[in-house]
Amino acid sequence: MGSHIARRLHGEGRKVLLTDIDAGAVEELARELSPDGSTARGTALDVSSKSEFESALQACLELWGTPTIVVNNAAVTEAADLMTLPEESFTRVLTTNVNSIFFGCQVFGAAMAEQGFGRIVNMASLAGQNGGTGTGAHYAASKGAILTTTKVFARELAGQGVTVNAIAPGPHDLPVIKRTMTPEKLETVVAGIPVGHLGEPAFIADMVALLASDNASFVTGACWDVNGGLYVR
């Protein structure tokens, strides 16, 4: 999903700093987008750590100045049995998925507020709304926390020109979905989607670009659902 979003934003003329715990992967994509490194760079970021967000912000400041857009997209996606879910798995998924949103909003949101403009988009999930379709309870719990965190920071930063919104995708046509579910489980999930197919990740990138646009100032604290009719409200 991150690569789709990065390509979309870069394609409309944005400079992008790609981050991942695997620096090599994002550096490769950055070179593809900008061979000379003038409009795309990659750097390592462990999203469970506030100090690493501070380092990523410093890297962005040195390259291009204070960012105007932040997309908090990193997550651990796992399936697990509810009643035998180990404590270490629960802690790891919650720490990664919730810390990434909280500290991303806190560290980058403060810098954006100081300059008086910013757009933050947090990647939530249908799992945080309906308890999960094919993922574990720890994943669903973390995504529910992301929805609340989005509202908290939206309220805090609204008066300083910074919007904070979430997107909640249902099952999309991505490698992580096929790694998480068995073919039989995936077939069952797709059969239960009212529109009859998986989502298209490029459309999520379009939604990110819309929420990140300069004229999106009147949308904040919102969650945009993209789930094929699996969750209607």
Give me the active site residues, please. 139
Cβ neighbours of 26 (radius 10 Å):
24
Query: Residue 187 corresponds to which tokens in the numbers above?
Result: 């077939």
117, 127, 77: which is closest to 100 by C-alpha?
Answer: 77
